[in-house]
Structure 1
Amino acid sequence: MSKRIAIGGDHAGFEYKEAIKSMLAEKGYEVGDFGPGSADSVDYPDFAHPLATAVEKGTYTLGVLICGSGNGVAITANKHAGVRAAICWNDELSALARQHNDANVISLPARFISLEEAKKITLTFLETDFEGGRHARRVGKIPC
């Protein structure tokens, strides 16, 4: 798996984004930061759309989006035909999102999980492979 990861979110996810970005860089990932650049209030689609486009085009292999609930950024990213964004609030969901759904963007709810949980969930997502097989058939039926 490529180590080119896109990361972004909104003001509620800024602190987690910065910490996760640092952790990933320390682990040898090449991280593209799609913003925001501070914890000042912003509109999450302004950051989720460019990140989703970059994942959809293959510029980045996987994406990490972080907002307060995880919902806004996931809904936005999933408007892109080539993106499968999964909201994950624990490690098991993170693994299943990759194994069964071939999710290529993880959406984290910063207001509902600790930073340490967010880091662990992110690493599980990035280090888990899609199982294919019967799951590939199902994933193939997702696009409209």
Structure 2
Amino acid sequence: MAHTMSSRASAFDTALRDVAIPALAAHGFRFDGSRTFRRLLSDGRSSQIVSFQLGRRSLEGTFTVNLGIFTEGDRLGVRPDHAKEYDCQFERRTRIGALIPPRFPRLASLPFVGMLFGIPDKWWPISDDLSRTSASVSTAVDMITGHGLGWLSARGP
């Protein structure tokens, strides 16, 4: 089991390098080598963060994307150019799944039924097959550029 996860993680990291780095670099994000991308804002005191998180336990073999805006002082001793998504204040953090429009918006607004069709926590599959994992990363990057970048910009300082 550990070997499978390490080969999956290796394929995932390769897909990040091949797919996510060029796509996010085009929007001013720098990769830190540990599945986190940051875009330092012009004031130098804030950064926008895109973090790829691998699933564990029942979510093993999947990943999601966390977004955050870090402002100097959110966590003592952490600089904006080294901040992680979890260092950001709660109101300036989200998961990409919360930003993707629901497939059935009318159903999502109904009581009880909305729990089934409401905001999903989006996780994409990964495997040791690089082309399949790259396709998942590509889809996630499309969601980041289509929905996440606007959320980050709207909440920037």
Q: TM-score, normalised by structure 2?
A: 0.27
User: Larger Cα Rg: Structure 1 or Structure 2?
Assistant: 2
